[in-house]
Structure 1
Amino acid sequence: MSDSDVEPPSPDPDVDDDEDNEHDDEGDAGDLVEFPLTKKLAAKGLSVLAKTGDGLEHAFVRLQMVDKQITDISIISCYACYVHIRYLDLSENCLKDLTPIHALNFLLTLKADNNLLTTAKLDELPFLRVMSLANNRIETTEGISHPQLHALNLNHNQVSEVSGLAGNNPLLDTIELRANQLTSLKGLTDLPCLRKLCLAENSLTTLEGLDELTTLQWVHVRDNKLVSLDGMTSNLAVLQYLNLRGNVTLVKTEEISKLQNLHMLRALVLKGCGVEEIEDYRIEVLSYARRLERLDKDPFTDDERQEAEEKQAERKAMAADALGATETEE
């Protein structure tokens, strides 16, 4: 199994994800009719014949069981014919338990979006690279520990605090926790390979602690309750894309000045933020983030760059005059 077998999701920096993707709560557990996965049904979803891990046999490595109203997958751990599955899609069912997946030691990709899961906890899967459990009822990230995990999608769940990821997923490259219940970045530490982070539609008031994730290149925190940009320090030396759209509580002009610490920032989205009302908004932003190429998806013009340069020079002159006046008084 090569690294090219599975590609983690790559969010498009030009897409703001306007569409709603709320979890459908129709049909609570008490109304469910038990419908276990059977060998006959599973046979219809098996595909992709490939060599087994030892190279001595061939077996089906993909099982796709989407929107079948399945409530139980115990059969997966009961028959040797499933042990070679590498790609498993159980989305849009009625599953509350993924425990039988523990038997799939060669699993690379797991998708179980739109189920009734309350936990993401699984025994360690040595080759798992992509795990997507969006639109469930998961309340914690505890129990997610997979040495090869690159991409984790827990969008539209009920996670209020991140815990258990640090140190247990050393190759984690992408985390998506859109539309959960986060109020801080607590627990998002010790993730040495993390490049993409989506925390849109939570209840964050600050980004304090973000600068501990020094490998970040792409950050999406749209539609939160940010009042400050604390955490935007020079430690974020490779951050290139930042989406702050819809943070109407971000109103203070001085917060914009913190963008000057982001030396690699190329694209910024502030549409719908309170700071958008600042006079000469685009010029003000560019005067601090001089390497920006686009603001709210629109490229800067040569004239805007000239104005931003003049504004920055004016601000430096005023600061020098103020410093000189202070020294004279002393």
Structure 2
Amino acid sequence: MSDNDDVYLSPEEQLGEDAPAEEGEEGEEADKTSEKVSPQIQVFPLNKEIIIEGLSLLCQTGKKLEHAFIKLDLKDRALTDIIAISSYIHIRFLDLSNNYISDLSPLASMTHLLWLKVDRNSMKSFKEQPLSEFTFLQWLSVASNQIVDMEGLVGPSIETLILSGNSIQKINGLRNADFANLVILELRGNQLETTSGFDLPNLRKLYLAQNFIKRLEGLEKLERLTTLHLRDNQLETLEGLCPEMKSLQYLNIRGNAIAEGDALRSLHFLTSSLKTLVIAENPVVDAVPYRQTVLILLPQLERIDKEPVTLTERTEA
């Protein structure tokens, strides 16, 4: 793993499209979102010609010899009204990125959706949106919108959920009963102050960089978590890490406010699993011999920051 070990193979990459934004780009995208809504910008209603232009990937529908296009690309179309899309019920992959969409109700008939991207739009809430109709949806990205809470968000089949670059202040509604298959969750660049609220025992990767997190709380339910990314927050201590996190292999706390060696003591709860710790850009790095301090707590570590742990370091610790 590297210091930027937070890139995974998304359905976008599987379909040969652009890879997701690298760390640090979310803020720029959010700025673009706030800037693009302007009285001078002309918006266009969705029509059949635009839809036909964006259709691709012809597949059999399951009804004898019937075929239909199942992929629709409508990004960068300056759209506000997508009512014309409602009759295309066979769509499985839909990209609505970089428009002015605030209402997804025209998608209610698309019950075959597997993949949905609504990045850089004008979404403010999940309430009264047709997400409960998408029983097969596996990948959902609503990054860089204006979402402030998660009320109304459901996804029984969702495996990857990306909500980066919004204004979410609190984790609520993320229960295992509604997200039993959720494996990857992206919440970078929001306004979270705590990690409380995650009831997702099947979650594997959690990205919380660039928030305002001061406290680690409620992590005991993340029993299968392997990656926890907390870069650029406001942590002064790691109190809150717990023995229930028995699968955690990668922890990134770079760019926080940890100043003393004692603030790292909770790392010992991760002795049985943690392999990589990224701790650079914390005051503690300059205050104490931090690599040795960390190795005393976690003798099994394979890498600290960008450097592998040497046998000499391990022996001395």
- Shared fold (TM-score, shorter chain, > 0.5): yes
Written as runs of structure 1 = structure 2, the 5 A alignment for 1:6-21 is 7=11, 17-19=23-25, 20-21=27-28
One-letter amino acid of the counterpart of residue 239, structure 1? L
Displacement of 1:163 in angstroms is 1.4
Displacement of 1:8 in angstroms is 9.1
Q: TM-score, normalised by structure 2?
A: 0.87
Return closer, same or farther for 1:264/1:282 CA change in 2, 3 Å cut-off: same
Which is bigger in relative contact order (C-alpha 8 A, separation at least 6)? 2
Deviations 1:271-296 (A, max 9, x none): 00122123321111111111111111
Written as runs of structure 1 = structure 2, the 5 A alignment for 1:110-149 is 110-121=116-127, 122-123=129-130, 124=132, 125-149=134-158
Displacement of 1:34 in angstroms is 4.1
Deviations 1:246-271 (A, max 9, x none): 00x21121122211110210011000
Which of 231, 241, 246 aligns to 2:250? It is: 241
Please give the alpha-carbon distance, in whole angstroms, between the structure 1 residues aligned to 2:313 and 2:174.
Answer: 43
Partner in structure 2 of residue 328 of structure 1? none
Is structure 2 residue 110 aligned with structure 1 residue 101?
A: no
Displacement of 1:29 in angstroms is 6.5
Partner in structure 2 of residue 251 of structure 1? 259
Aligned residues, how many? Answer: 294
Return closer, same or farther for 1:16/1:224 CA change in 2, 3 Å cut-off: farther
Which of 179, 195, 201 aligns to 2:189? It is: 179
Displacement of 1:53 in angstroms is 4.2
Aligned residues: CA RMSD = 2.1
Return closer, same or farther for 1:8/1:62 CA change in 2, 3 Å cut-off: closer
> Is the Cα–Cα contact under 8 Å of residues 51 and 85 in structure 2 kept in the other structure?
no
Written as runs of structure 1 = structure 2, the 5 A alignment for 1:306-325 is 306-308=315-317
Return closer, same or farther for 1:8/1:33 CA change in 2, 3 Å cut-off: closer
Displacement of 1:31 in angstroms is 5.6
> Is the Cα–Cα contact under 8 Å of residues 48 and 62 in structure 1 kept in the other structure?
yes
> Is the Cα–Cα contact under 8 Å of residues 210 and 231 in structure 1 kept in the other structure?
yes
SS of residue matched to 1:242: strand
Return closer, same or farther for 1:201/1:288 CA change in 2, 3 Å cut-off: same
Return closer, same or farther for 1:135/1:145 CA change in 2, 3 Å cut-off: same
Which of 288, 291, 309 aligns to 1:279? It is: 288
Structure 2 unaligned regions, length at least 5: 1-9, 15-20
Partner in structure 2 of residue 45 of structure 1? 54
Please give the alpha-carbon distance, in whole angstroms, between the structure 2 residues aligned to 1:37 and 1:133.
Answer: 20
Displacement of 1:192 in angstroms is 2.5
Q: TM-score, normalised by structure 1?
A: 0.84
Return closer, same or farther for 1:276/1:143 CA change in 2, 3 Å cut-off: same
Please give the alpha-carbon distance, in whole angstroms, between the structure 2 residues aligned to 1:48 and 1:114.
Answer: 24
Please give the alpha-carbon distance, in whole angstroms, between the structure 2 residues aligned to 1:56 and 1:143.
Answer: 38
> Is the Cα–Cα contact under 8 Å of residues 196 and 217 in structure 2 kept in the other structure?
no
SS of residue matched to 1:131: strand
One-letter amino acid of the counterpart of residue 264, structure 2? I
One-letter amino acid of the counterpart of residue 170, structure 1? A
Displacement of 1:241 in angstroms is 0.4
Displacement of 1:234 in angstroms is 1.1
Q: Rg: which structure is higher?
A: 1
Return closer, same or farther for 1:30/1:106 CA change in 2, 3 Å cut-off: same
Which of 206, 215, 227 aligns to 2:215? It is: 206
Please give the alpha-carbon distance, in whole angstroms, between the structure 2 residues aligned to 1:170 and 1:32.
Answer: 41
Moved more, 272-281 or 153-162: 272-281
Return closer, same or farther for 1:184/1:54 CA change in 2, 3 Å cut-off: farther
Displacement of 1:235 in angstroms is 0.6
Partner in structure 1 of residue 72 of structure 2? 63
